Amino acid sequence: GAVVSQHPSRVICKSGTSVKIECRSLDFQATTMFWYRQFPKQSLMLMATSNEGSKATYEQGVEKDKFLINHASLTLSTLTVTSAHPEDSSFYICSARLPGNTGELFFGEGSRLTVL
Amino acid sequence: AQSVTQLGSHVSVSEGALVLLRCNYSSSVPPYLFWYVQYPNQGLQLLLKYTSAATLVKGINDFEAEFKKSETSFHLTKPSAHMSDAAEYFCAVRGSNYKLTFGKGTLLTVNP
């Protein structure tokens, strides 16, 4: 199957700093990627849809100025958590949509953010 | 709008026993349905998907699921559980623009 890679897998930062998480589709071009947030022992919550070459579409209740998404190329989307606070600590997962009618999604390995 | 309900946040079975994880969905359009597995601190791996073809869908690792429109269900089964099946399982329904709505997940424990 297609491969989606996230980096870093774990990051610890101080409160007030910004953290960037990368999501790459390694063997296909993804015009659409999705960013999810997962709290411990809970389901995945869609944060935003990242579209190559255009602005991301955020879900209701997600602060776009807090969670900056850039999809500058067909294989890379980045999520930047700006001025991170302890409540931003979470597991962030991206997925990339395979081109074509099936539109199957492939998920990255996830990135665990801990804000001290 | 789409929604998914997974009955049972935790299912425990013995090794070699039948696995049954329940999923009911609500969808305003003919649904595309998915089952994913998540191991600790990892992303999601697709087990199987229903895309309006055969109602009985076979996936990886001997998992299968049956789409029942009359019951709005898409339950996941496996004839014989292995220890390696212990993980979190998510049912999902696809909405517009390929967005997935996930259920709350079911943690499967396999006892020796």
Question: Would the CB atoms of A107 and B36 count as touching at under 8 Å?
Answer: yes
Predicted local distance difference test score (pLDDT) of residue B1: 79
Averaged pLDDT of chain B: 93
Residues of A in contact with B41 (CB under 8 A): 91, 110, 112
Per this entry, what is the length of chain A? 116
Tokens 């909405």 belong to B95
Check whether A44 has a pLDDT greater than 80. Answer: yes
* Residue whose C-alpha is closest to residue A43's, from B93, B83, B78: B93
In this complex, the residue of B51, B101, B104 whose CB is nearest that of residue A42 is: B104
Segment among A57-61, A96-100, B9-13 with least mean pLDDT = A96-100
Predicted local distance difference test score (pLDDT) of residue B40: 87
In this complex, the residue of B36, B41, B98 whose CB is nearest that of residue A97 is: B98
Rounded mean pLDDT of A76-88? 96
Task: Let me know: does B5 contact B24? Beta carbons within 8 Å.
Answer: yes
Predicted local distance difference test score (pLDDT) of residue A42: 84
Task: Let me know: does A30 contact A24? Beta carbons within 8 Å.
Answer: no
Q: Phi and psi for A16 in degrees, rounded to 5?
A: 100, -15
Tokens 């491969």 belong to A3
Residue B72 at interface with chain A, using a CB cutoff of 8 Å = no
Could you report the per-residue pLDDT of B12-64, keeping only the tens digit for each?
999 999 999 999 999 888 889 999 999 988 889 999 999 887 899 999 999 99
Pairwise pLDDT comparison (A17 vs A99), residue with the higher score:
A17
DSSP-derived 3-state class of residue A108:
coil
Task: Let me know: does A14 contact A4? Beta carbons within 8 Å.
Answer: no
H/E run at residue B93: strand B87-94
In this complex, the residue of A49, A108, A112 whose CB is nearest that of residue B97 is: A49
Quote the minimal CA–CA distance from A16 to chain B in Å. 25
DSSP-derived 3-state class of residue B65:
strand
Position A1 confidence tier, pLDDT thresholds 50, 70, 90: low
Rounded mean pLDDT of A8-28? 95
Predicted local distance difference test score (pLDDT) of residue B54: 86
**Residue A83 to residues A14, A61, A105, Cα–Cα distance (Å):** 9, 18, 30
Interface of A with B (CB under 8 A): 1, 4, 6, 32, 34, 42-44, 46, 49, 91, 93, 95, 97, 102-110, 112
Rounded mean pLDDT of B92-110? 92
- The amino acid at residue B28 is S
Predicted local distance difference test score (pLDDT) of residue A33: 95
Averaged pLDDT of chain A: 92
Rounded mean pLDDT of A53-77? 93
Residue B29 at interface with chain A, using a CB cutoff of 8 Å = no
